[in-house]
Amino acid sequence: MTITLTNPAGLPEVGAYHHVAVASPGRLVFVAGQVSWDADGVTVGAGDLAAQVEQCYVNVATSLAAAGATFDDLVRLTVYVVDWTPDKLPVFLEGVARAAARLGSTPAPPATLIGVAALDVPEHLVEVEATAAVG
């Protein structure tokens, strides 16, 4: 099996990891945890969980597209939310709905939501990683 690591256009170069790993043949696509950075590495939606969820999902879609995949190919999502409490669910789902409307797709693969104390930088409230299977 060959693993190809890429950093797709439209996402910032991070240096510590690649945004996408594609395993061939069998084409499994592993997307690194995506935070609410835009292509220039600027945080989108500081302090706004829904806006950050939306940007994370858009970044996952960008990563999947670079590997020839879409949300329809997702087999797993893992979501990390800072200081998670169940009362945040409506705001989280608002962000998912906004991303779905923007992308024209509603991802519904197996998923896990994990509450965490902090992420990589203080302004990030959510991180989403994904696994997809293509062809």
Which domain, by its residues, includes 36? 3-134
Which tops the pLDDT comparison, 13 or 117?
117
Domain CATH code at residue 33: 3.30.1330.40
Residue 1, token pair as written in the block: 């099996």
Torsion of Cα atoms, 91 then 95 then 100 then 103, to 10°: 170
Number of domains in the chain: 1
Banded pLDDT at 78 (limits 50, 70, 90): very high
Res. 118 pLDDT band, cuts 50 70 90:
very high
DSSP states of 55-113 = HHHHHHHHHHHHTT--GGGEEEEEEEEET--GGGHHHHHHHHHHHHHHHT----SSEEE
pLDDT in tens, 21-66: 887 787 899 999 999 999 999 999 999 999 999 999 999 999 999 9
